[in-house]
Structure 1
Amino acid sequence: MTLIVRSESPTTDRSTVWVEGRLDAATFGEFDDALRDITPLVDNGGTLIIDLSALDYISSAGLRSLAQLRRQMQDRAGRTLLLNPQPQVKKVFEIVKAVPVAEVFASVAELDQYLDHMQRQITG
Structure 2
Amino acid sequence: MTLSLHSEFLAPDRVVVQVGGRLDAMTFGELDEAMLVLLPQLTDDGTVVIDLTGLEYVSSAGLRSFAKIRKSMRGRGGHALLLNPQPQVRKVFDIVKAVPVNEVFTSSQELDAYLDRIQRQITEGDDSIDA
Per the TM superposition, whether the score is higher than 0.5 is yes
Q: Could you tell me which residue of structure 2 aligns to residue 79 of structure 1?
A: 79
4+ long deviations beyond 6 Å: none
Are 1:28 and 2:52 matched, yes or no?
no
Q: With the length of structure 1 as denominator, give the TM-score of the two structures.
A: 0.77
- Cα separation, 2, equivalents of 1:34 and 1:45: 19
Unaligned runs of 5+ in 2: 99-131
The alignment partner of 2:26 has SS state of coil
Structure with the larger RCO, 1 or 2 (CA within 8 Å, 6+ apart): 1
Q: How many residues of Structure 1 are paired with residues of Structure 2 in the alignment?
A: 98
Separation in 2 of the partners of 1:35 and 1:6?
Answer: 11
Unaligned segments of structure 1, at least 5 residues: 99-124
3-state DSSP of counterpart to 1:64: helix
Determine the structure 2 residue equivalent to 1:10. Answer: 10
Mapped to 1, the partners of 2:32 and 2:55 lie a distance apart of 15
TM-score (norm 2): 0.73
Higher share of residues assigned helix: 1
Correspondence list, 1:54-73, <5 A:
54-73=54-73
Post-superposition offset of 1:26: 0.2
Cα offset for 1:10? 1.7
Structure 2 residue 44 is the aligned partner of structure 1 residue 44: yes
Once residues 10 and 57 of structure 1 are traced to their aligned partners in structure 2, the CA distance between those partners, rounded to angstroms, is: 27
Q: CA deviation at 1:80?
A: 0.3
Report the CA distance between 1:58 and its aligned residue: 0.1
* 1:95 paired to 2:91: no
Q: Secondary structure at the match of 1:77?
A: coil
- Note the C-alpha offset of 1:42: 1.0
Q: What corresponds to 2:126 in structure 1?
A: none
Aligned partners of 1:39 and 1:14: how far apart in 2?
10
CA distance in 1, matches of 2:10, 2:91: 31
1:16, distance to aligned residue in structure 2 (A): 0.4
